[in-house]
Structure 1
Amino acid sequence: MHVGASADVELDANQIDASPITLYDGPVESYLDGSLGNLDPGTRLYGRVWTSGPQVVVRYYEAKPPDGETVAICAVARLGKGQLRKLPESKPGTAMLDYSGASVYVVDSFR
């Protein structure tokens, strides 16, 4: 898997195809919709969500393929121009988003 590789992801495995969705500060389990390097669709991505700013930050550190062993990754969730902008009705410690999906990108480090 190389830096810049990307795929579609459902941000919360428990809210697939929901609209809007609510993410909470803390751990998150996401669901890979497409292939990401050698990771097949259906792979679970594990990471952390931060909701304190105007946009949600989601960083992934681990992947669990459907029929494989857990592997370490360094990846972030992103969405087009609006990024992962929270809806105005989001309460502290949460982020309501219009869509359940985004893209995940492999990075060389978190900034």
Structure 2
Amino acid sequence: MCSVHDEQVRILILNENEDNNEELFRLKTGWTLQIVLSAGLSARKIRIFSNACLNENDQFQRNNYQELKWVYPSNTKYDDSNRYVSILCCKSGSFHYYFTIDGTTYVKKIFLNLY
């Protein structure tokens, strides 16, 4: 189980046309990664996929991507501008994520490393 005293939240902002493909983001086991949308993407239909293990008992499979579920903290019915997805980093290793905009099929995988 992930240690409570190690819990930290790291925020990654998605921007349209930003190429982070060559960057490596380092996260520690026990941290939470929140992926939020930039102002330019907040009104768009964004889907985010990752091959990260979402539960401690999951076996990592490099080519198995799951769509991440949005969290909607706003109390108003039509405001989803502050939505985010959350990934608990419960296993060390590397994982990718990618996102689509308004139903596109363009895929740009971003590499994240957990230690």
Normalising to structure 1: TM-score of the pair?
Answer: 0.30
Which has more strand, going by share of residues? 1
Normalising to structure 2: TM-score of the pair?
Answer: 0.29
